[in-house]
Amino acid sequence: MTRPLPVLGVVIPAHDEAALLGDCLDSVARAARWVADRALVRTLVVLDACADASAEVARAHDVATLAVDARCVGRARDAGCRALLRGRPRPGWLATTDADSRVPPDWLLAQLDADEAGVDAHVGAVYVDEWGEHAPGTRLWFRDVYDRAGDPHPHVHGANLGVRAEGYERCGGFPDLPSGEDVALVTALAAGGFTVQRTRRSPVLTSARRVGRAVDGFAGRLTELGSTVTADPVDHRVSP
């Protein structure tokens, strides 16, 4: 008897992301095709207080949506995860990314491999697609500090995160936070004795906009760095 394919859930919170959401969904669809012979992928866009055409973009890509009025990325991300877990077929693994990000073709392959290896959480890295809005020192900090951290790296990004459904539920899921919900979840998993894998495999490409959707999120952190980091034009080192 043929065993049913494992189910991977993908949650993408979006608040007025019509301009970037289509590229994100294209990348997720491509990643889903890479694992089509090994897993069933269920993708859900959580439309958080959207007043733009984000819903239309999701429909054009034949992707399921959930409308919420949370105005909070932690609450939106959790609502999406719990909606998938209530549905059928129920995913055994949940992956999350952001609407302003593009996942690599092997992104879900890496998540599936983590699941099959018995890992409880897969914590990935990100790269930035365009530095034009930021000071040179920010880009150099990212290259010389962020990008040179070896594995297991210290970073946590909701744009590149995966977790086993059992661990997610036992740790309470993403907390109701306007930012840092990803860090809080990974911290709870580690404290609960779950296996957390931190790897640079399959980094996600994300935007470097100065004004992000989440207060104190990745965009805010980059902007803060731009105001505190200076670049040495001679040797390209960075200093606080």
Share of the chain above pLDDT 90, in %: 71
Looking at residue 1, its pLDDT comes to 61
Tell me the average pLDDT across 119-141: 80
Q: Which of 234, 198, 15 is CA-nearest to residue 121?
A: 198
Predicted confidence band of residue 132 (pLDDT cuts 50, 70, 90): low
Angle (CA) 27 200 238, round 5°:
110
Q: How do residues 39-96 score in pLDDT, each as one tens digit?
A: 999 999 999 999 999 999 999 999 999 999 999 999 999 999 999 999 999 999 999 9
Domains of the chain, by residue range, sit at 7-126+151-204
Top-tier CATH class for 7-126+151-204:
alpha beta
Q: Is residue 209 within 8 Å of residue 121, measured between CB atoms? A: no
Computed on alpha carbons and rounded to an integer, the radius of gyration of the chain in Å comes to 18
Tell me the average pLDDT across 116-133: 88
Least confident segment among 57-61, 118-122, 198-202, 208-212: 208-212
For residue 240, pLDDT over 50 is answered with no
Helices (H), the chain: 18-34, 54-60, 73-86, 107-116, 136-141, 165-170, 181-191, 218-228
Tell me whether the omega of the peptide bond preceding residue 152 falls within 30 degrees of 0, making it cis.
Answer: yes
Task: Decide which of 218 and 120 is more confident.
Answer: 120
Q: Is residue 47 within 8 Å of residue 149, measured between CB atoms? A: no
Tell me the average pLDDT across 214-226: 53
Task: Decide which of 18 and 239 is more confident.
Answer: 18
Q: Is residue 100 within 8 Å of residue 207, measured between CB atoms? A: yes
pTM higher than 0.95, yes or no?
no
Looking at residue 218, its pLDDT comes to 57
Q: CB within 8 A of 232, min separation 6: which ones?
A: 238, 239
Coil, strand or helix: which one is 210? coil
Least confident segment among 7-21, 53-67, 131-145, 218-232: 218-232
Coil, strand or helix: which one is 163? strand
Q: How do residues 134-176 score in pLDDT, each as one tens digit?
A: 567 777 777 776 777 778 988 999 999 999 999 999 999 999 9
